[in-house]
Chains A and B, each alone.
Chain A
Amino acid sequence: MKREPLIFEVSDKGKRAFRLPKLDVPCGQDPWRGYSLRESIEGFPQVSEIEVVRHFTRLSQWNHAVDIGFYPLGSCTMKYNPKVNERVAAFPGFAGVHPLAPEEYAQGCLEVLKRTEELLGEITGMDAFTLQPAAGAHGELVGMMLIRAALADRGDPRRVVLIPDSAHGTNPSSAHLCGYRVQEIKSDGSGRVDMAGLEKAMTSEVAALMVTNPNTLGVFETDIRKIAAVVHSRGGFLYMDGANMNALCGVCRPGDMDVDVIHLNLHKTFSTPHGGGGPGGGPVGVKNVLEPYLPGPKVDRRDGRLVLVADLPKSIGRVRSFHGNFLVVVKALAYILSLGAEGLKEMSEVAVLNANYIRKSLEGLFHLKYQTPTLHECVFSDKFQKEHGISNLDIAKRLIDYGVHPPTMSFPLIVPGALMIEPTETEPRRELDVFIEAMKAIAREAKESPELLKSAPHASPVRRLNETAAARNPVLRWTEDMTEPSRE
């Protein structure tokens, strides 16, 4: 494939996109007087409009996106984002509103916030929500801050947070950032929280257990209420990472599982754009006992109107400017309303069905460490392919040749050589079959022509990159005297 030059490399002095006509009216006082302005920015590329447009259009064509192909990135829920959400979010009343507009001029926007909080409460069984957190890990941090505030209020500050080894990788960081020491709880043979281990670890020093349900193996914690009882009996809180909520909507509710705090990912479960198309949204839901600590200001209904309440003496305060990523909330609300209660249930059912269709079709060809039934994702490993010297990395790179985004790799850590596959409900069966056939072909290639896998990808604009060199000696800035690194 043709090499795409960097924008700096097509730069020539004096080229520019457009020129303004000469000023033909008298020039008033220089409006920039008193500001320090530069005549030019050294090293800034100088290119024509068509060069800019072509460069970035070509780069965008090299990108993989859910609008282009299958994107089974496990635990990331890369579902299709319905275009109607974008249309709604672009309504001038939403897109053009000033974040400091007085309440009486923003009743519709406040209604969106309140309505979304209420609907998320209904979906999850939690009593109250904040929509401020900007994404999932931010939601986790806020959730842990609420727990810390409640414990401090109780005069019982604690030091430890328990996290199962099947939890999302961000959980330990969030607990640590909140000042807690993290202690790991091992999984049992079925891939669930080991109850004996939890019983032993759950002391009066433990502030919370952070559980991901279904966990990163896709396994539902069937003992969740027993887990909650153990945690509560020793004065701790149960935090649920709701990133995998796509498996549960309309089927069961974390609130009914005695969960005290949950964060959701609007950009996963509720179909708002993800990755480069973000930003995200990480609402946090709580039970009544934690509600006083929620960030403010809060939207409240009073005498048929919506008001912003800032007088919240126990609140942990603001965690995000204004009201969070408001347009992301609009898109999530559009999604929830367009699916409705029945639609949300079907969404989760089909997500589970699709994942199990893949699991069943590839069982035997790829190793499954845990035999427990799984919900919305399944975790294979490279154990069978290892016999031919093929690793999960080789499999992932080869998938690129088949037009598929590689699945999540090497996580969870309890499955060595993991390939975590989450198709989501939006994939038609035909797409699933194309993926399954690609995986079957790769399993064959691993036996018959392993070199093909080791040197993959072959069909992409760049071949196998040296990730180690990139991580050890990252080159983050272009300079004029830079030579292209060798392709070896």
Chain B
Amino acid sequence: MYPGDFYYTKDHEWVRVQGQDAVMGITDFAQKQLGDVVFVQLPEVGANLEAHQSIGTIESVKAVSDVFSPLAGEVTAVNGDLVDNPEIINQDPHGKGWIMRLKPADPKAVERLMKAAEYEKHLEGLDKET
């Protein structure tokens, strides 16, 4: 379910390292919790983000939720397709539904995030809790 070469956060964002850059989006669990996504607010290219800074919001029929930057760094690209077709996040959260690409301030920081197995364990814990 959750790609083994991705990294994950407790807030249900994923990160994929691509050369010098990191691509991020929200996880399948997150899109299921949100339900049908109807609007995605994207950060600005060139913005310098702190780790855990809010980069924008995702609006679904159920709720409006903040999306956080999993890493500190500079935004190098955003997924403009989401503006007109927010449903891509529901259809392909780990692929075409990517949100932004950034150049991490510290290339090693990503390794402090969760691996797939760890994230799946985190989800099991959440399930018990509810």
Interface residues of A, Cβ cutoff 8 Å to B: 169, 182, 369, 381, 383, 409-411, 413, 415-416, 467-468, 471-472
CB < 8 Å: which of A182, A413, A415, A468 contacts B61? A468
CA distance A416 to B68 in the complex (A): 20
What residues of chain B lie closer than 8 Å to A413, measured between beta carbons?
Answer: 63, 65
- The answer to whether B86 and A472 touch across the interface, beta carbons within 8 angstroms, is yes
A residues in contact with B39, CB < 8 Å: 471
- Bound form: Cα–Cα A411–B59 in Å: 14
Count of inter-chain pairs, beta carbons less than 8 A: 28
Residues from 74 to 130 in B contacting A, C-beta threshold 8 Å: 86-87, 130
Distance to closest chain A CB from B83 (angstroms): 12
**7 A-B contacts (beta carbon < 8 Å):** A182-B54, A369-B130, A409-B62, A410-B62, A471-B39, A471-B59, A472-B38
Q: A91 CA to B123 CA in the complex, in Å?
A: 60
A206 to chain B, nearest CB (A): 16
A471 touches B62 (CB 8 A): no
Contact of A467 among B61, B63, B65 (CB under 8 A): B61
A467 contact set on B, CB distance < 8 A? 36, 61
For residue B38, give the distance in angstroms from its CB to the closest CB of chain A.
4
CA distance A383 to B127 in the complex (A): 10
* Closest chain B residue, CB of each to CB of A417: B130
Chain B interface size, as a band, is: 10 to 19
Q: What residue of chain A has the Cβ atom nearest to residue B50's Cβ?
A: A181
Are A471 and B61 touching (Cβ within 8 A)? yes
Check if A410 sits within 8 Å of B86, measured CB to CB: no
Contact (Cβ within 8 A) A468 B36: yes
- Closest A residue to B59 by beta carbon equals A471
Inside 8 A of B54's CB, which chain A residues have their CB? 182
Q: Which residue of A383, A410, A471 is within 8 Å of B38 (Cβ)?
A: A471
Nearest CB in chain B: distance from A216 CB, A: 13
Closest to A473 in B: B38
Q: Closest A residue to B36 by CB, please name it.
A: A468
Which residue in chain B gives the minimum CB-CB distance to A172?
A: B66
Report yes or no: B38 in contact with A381, Cβ–Cβ below 8 A.
no
Complex alpha-carbon distance, A190 and B65, angstroms: 23
| B33 A416 Cβ-Cβ under 8 A | yes
Task: Note all chain A residues with C-beta closer than 8 A to B130.
Answer: 369, 381, 383, 415-416
CA distance A468 to B62 in the complex (A): 10
Distance to closest chain B CB from A111 (angstroms): 43
The residues in B between 30 and 71 inclusive whose CB is less than 8 angstroms from any CB of A are 33, 36, 38-39, 54, 59, 61-65
Verify A410–B36 contact, CB threshold 8 A. Answer: no
